Amino acid sequence: MAVGESLSALQYQFYSSSVNNVASTSVMANGSTNAPAANAAIATTADLTPGTWDVEVTGTISGTTVATLEADNMRFKIGGTAVAAVLVPVPSTAGGNAAGRLKCRVNLAANAPLSVIANANSTASSVYKAQIVATKIGN
């Protein structure tokens, strides 16, 4: 590429994800569930391949009447195992809305999905939302 030549959006995207010959793969899942029951999935990725992944999970709980028991009622799962709480505070029981975030590095030995679930039954007017972004480190 000559000096002063510009990259197209697609070329830039490829270039920025393969700088220093380190390719990266990102996977994202979003979900929303009204009044989830215990262990109900809110967001789930497809199976991720073995290797090291940087993961960021964002969760929100909202609703017209949200009980304080909803605080921190989300769990992050690798495959079928819950490994961490997604800390989501409930600032108000009347129309509250708060976001929580979890960042971690995951080493997968085998293919497995990542998911966010409701840990316990929620209140009838609650809305749980979650987003998972996983970026593979190295090849």
pLDDT of residue 105: 96
Averaged in consecutive runs of 10 residues, what is the pLDDT profile of the chain (139 residues)?
A: 42 41 79 96 97 96 79 94 90 70 96 97 91 90
- Give 36's contacts (C-beta < 8 A, 6+ positions apart): 42, 117, 118, 121, 122, 126, 128
pTM, entire model: 0.80
Q: Show me where the domains of the chain are located.
A: 22-137
Would you tell me how many other CB atoms lie within 10 Å of the CB of residue 67? 16
The pLDDT, as a whole number, for residue 9 is 40
Distances (CA, A) of 86 to 4, 57, 77: 46, 8, 10
CATH architecture of 22-137: Sandwich (2.60)
CB 69 within 8 A of CB 14: no
